[in-house]
Amino acid sequence: MAQSGRIPILNQRQRLLVVSNRLPVTVTKQEDQWIIQPGSGGLITALAPVLRDRGGLWCGWSGATIESAAPVESLLHGQEGRTGFRLQPVQLSERELKNFYFGFANETLWPLFHDLLGRARFEQGYWEAYLAANRRYNEVLTPGDFPEITWVHDYHLIPLGAMLRAHGREGRIGFFLHIPFPPLDLFKRLPWRKELLNHFLAYDLVGFQTRRDYTNFMNCVREMLPELPITSAPWHAMIHTTTRLVHVHSFPISIDFQEFNTLAKSLPVQETAALLRGQYPNQKIILGLDRLDYTKGIIPRFRAFRECLRLFPELHSRVVLLQVIIPSRIEVPEYQQMKRELEQLLAQINGEFSRPGWVPIHYFYRSLDRQELAAWYRAADICLVTPIKDGMNLVCKEYCACSPDGGVLILSEFAGAAEQLKEGALLVNPFDLEGVANTIGRACTMSREEQFRRMTTLRNHLRRNNVYIWVEHFVEQLLEPLEI
């Protein structure tokens, strides 16, 4: 870990409680047997060593509903010896899961915060379920549980801080929003806008991914809560409420650069990448890798690629788009419909341009394990990351960490990562299909020298700003807020 960044230094008595929607492990049933599966992702990678070092506690939903009768407590108790820290499960019913998680969290906040007002549903029952589910999280955390430092994560749990305060929890409580925060004119559409905004102000520190999100939030506070005094400095503010000083800042999340870089250079990954490249000889490999979600801009990406093939017929048989779709929320009808539309468009494009020995788009609907993921990144000449709105997007950062020999990153200007990676990436507007098409054409003909120069810039940034630095920055500021 010394190469990746140091663990935040906490006072020996100041232990950390992390609360997120899900635990870092998941309880699932396979062939009539309940098992524990480890979670993945940058948040787990970054926070697990901190909790392990201080004997901390992670609270979240286990993945099993109350109706499933899963032996959650006993399964997790046996897992704590492996994780090195305590796991506190939250039990949710199927009804709560439907109205809280699939309802308010993902049919109200998710589309609204991603600037997709037309997809947002504003139902009183959803809001009530959201508060009720947050009370569930609050109830399993007694005031004596690690009162010094609490770090709450993401849009599912915005009200939790105020509930923890009312429940008697002392110590410092921080909150980090992993998704974008919407501009004022959109946030005002939320019927419970003031209630939600006041829930943010129950924390000692509120963190956002980007300056854009920080600015949007502060604009909402100034407009809707004009009575609150605010002390400001560049990209940092202190809101004076009647009970506390709330510090607000941006903390762009990152990845474990060293882990991905080392994995990409390993012999098994290089061999797998070579085999993958061998399937598409003499072709530039463009990689798209996304969770199935309408915010990722996959359908506009396919249309832009079709436009590229129309504008640059010389690329026919010389370029291939490999699109990996990771299944997500497959039980939601809207996502099922999106998958059908995507596959219909795919068939139209391949039907228009395919010729013997060449199919322009290859589509993979599955997850990749970590080694496979690194190999696909390593094999790709170009990574096409074009969300219509994203809090950060770590795919683009992982691709750069796995590309020591160069490569081209095409990145949506509406991804949070664009704020950090604009010096090396080719930024595009995903709504401008011809603009994206021309950028793909440029990437396909970019010289090796320019590729390497741009990728070196990107990799150096990620090396300096890894996920451990992100954790350290947030926790240290939570403990000792920056004075203005």
**For residue 413, what is the enclosing H or E element?**
none
Among residues 274, 362, 275, which one has the least CA distance to residue 324?
362
Active-site positions read 178, 390
pLDDT tens for each residue of 406-453:
999 999 999 999 999 999 999 999 999 999 999 999 999 999 999 999
Mean of the per-residue pLDDT values of the chain: 92
Give the pLDDT score at 14: 67
Tokens read off for 232:
């400001």
> What is the average per-residue pLDDT within 249-264?
95
pLDDT > 90? residue 384: yes
pLDDT tens for each residue of 6-54:
444 455 456 789 999 999 988 888 888 898 888 866 678 778 877 887 7
Q: Identify the three-state secondary structure at position 111.
A: helix
> What is the average per-residue pLDDT within 143-154?
78
Give the pLDDT score at 242: 92
- CATH number for 16-254+468-479 (one of 3.90.1720.10, 3.30.560.10, 3.40.1190.20, 3.40.50.2000): it is 3.40.50.2000
Domains 16-254+468-479 and 257-464 fall in the same CATH topology: yes
pLDDT > 90? residue 233: no
Give the pLDDT score at 145: 59
What is d(CA 435, CA 325) in angstroms, rounded to the nearest whole number? 24
> What is the average per-residue pLDDT within 102-106?
95
> What is the average per-residue pLDDT within 102-127?
96
pLDDT > 50? residue 83: yes
pLDDT band of residue 399 (cuts 50, 70, 90) is very high
What is the CATH topology of the domain spanning 257-464?
Rossmann fold (3.40.50)
The label of the residue with tokens 């200007």 reads 413
CB 320 within 8 A of CB 362: yes
The full set of domain ranges for the chain reads 16-254+468-479, 257-464
pLDDT tens for each residue of 263-282:
999 999 999 999 999 999 99
CB 255 within 8 A of CB 393: no
Tokens read off for 288:
């798209």
